A = this chain, B = another copy of it.
Amino acid sequence: MVGDDMVLLDMLIREKGFISGEAIAERLKVSRTAVWKKIKTLRGQGFHIESQPNLGYCLISCPDKLLPVFIKRELKTDFIGQEVYYYPVTTSTNVLAKELASQGAREGTLVIAEEQTQGRGRMGREWLSPANKNILISLILRPHLSPIQVSYITMIASLSVVKTIEALTPLESSIKWPNDIMIRGNKVGGILTEFSAEQDQVVYVVVGIGVNMNFDPTIYPEIAYSATSIYLELGQEISRLKFLVGLLQEMEKEYKELQAGKGLLIVKEWRNSLMTLNKEVRVVSEQGTLEGMAEDVDEHGALILRLASGQQIKIYTGDVSLQMNKA
């Protein structure tokens, strides 16, 4: 939906009552039949629009969807989210975004789904989300980074989620190494970063962000005790659109800082948002299970673990759980 359609929607939203087809036709410089066709398109997208022979059209309600037309009305960014691919239902926004990126899609391109049939978390795990309830997006970025620095992108994505929660709600969230967003010990969001690179230069990064918004995870037995949502924590629904716009604006701000060479400041800020440090943790990785004190992270985000033997090791990938009995 672009140009004319957005102007039409703007008119309908601003007008509190009915607006005549004639007035619309005049403003858009199109025929009355063309106006009627545009109204039909909007209705198809879930807009409830009444029509009366002598009065014209009146917008009764907007669909609870993250339509590009809504985003464009609100978003103040230079490039992130300026190009939007919107899907009521798709396999996985990351899969689509990777295809678009390899075909040359420009930096900042946003892929949104209301529902995913093959939503994934890290390590190929399922990411559960009913339709029209949460935020399921992927962003295409083309940073000047070496592959070793791609973790910066995961860091700014998770920081942006934390900051957006902080800006729009009274909730406190933190980051569980390496890429989960947590509220009171339960998972409210996650980041899935995938990328394509040459030996020493990233070609593109696709960063997938999932945030549980107006969704009740307690009705799904498989995640009832590990997941939460903004709705569940707050006791009320909040505007997904407002959250998404805030998140994208925050992402752009952080990304610009990263590209301006402030990577180490970002690591520091990310480190301060980690709930994982100075705690006894258990790490399950391909190399096996390790237990120890999570002492720090290095400049690329690797976890520095102190084993009971006193030995210090770096962990690049794995699942962390806190050892609550020792904490």
Contact = CB atoms under 8 A, between A and B. Distances in A.
Interface of A: 98, 102, 122-123, 144, 146-148, 150-151, 154, 178-179, 192-201, 203, 286, 300, 316-317
A192 B98 CA distance: 21
B198 A196 contact: no
3 shortest interchain CB distances as A-B pairs: A200-B317, A193-B199, A147-B147
Contact of A201 (B123, B146, B300): B123
Given A194-B196, A195-B196, A196-B196, A201 B148 contact: no
Given A147-B197, A192-B199, 14 more contacts: A98-B196, A123-B201, A146-B316, A147-B147, A148-B148, A148-B300, A151-B199, A178-B200, A179-B199, A193-B198, A194-B196, A196-B196, A199-B317, A200-B316
Contacts of A286: 144
A74 to B, nearest CB: 30
A148 B316 contact: yes
A200 B150 CA distance: 9
28 contacts: A98-B102, A98-B196, A122-B198, A122-B199, A122-B200, A144-B286, A146-B316, A147-B147, A147-B148, A147-B195, A147-B197, A148-B300, A150-B199, A151-B199, A154-B199, A178-B199, A178-B200, A179-B199, A192-B198, A194-B196, A194-B197, A194-B198, A194-B199, A194-B203, A196-B196, A197-B197, A200-B316, A200-B317
Nearest to A196: B196
Contacts of A148: 147-148, 300, 316
Contacts of A179: 199
A318 to B, nearest CB: 8
A189 to B, nearest CB: 15
A93 to B, nearest CB: 15
Contacts of A98: 102, 196
Given A148-B147, A286-B144, A195 B193 contact: no
Contacts of A197: 147, 150, 194-197
Nearest to A149: B316
Nearest to A194: B198
A113 to B, nearest CB: 19
B147 A201 contact: no
A304 to B, nearest CB: 15
Contacts of A146: 316-317
Contacts of A144: 286
Residue of A122, A147, A195 with most partner-chain B CB within 10 A: A147
Contacts of A201: 123, 317
Contacts of A317: 146, 199-201
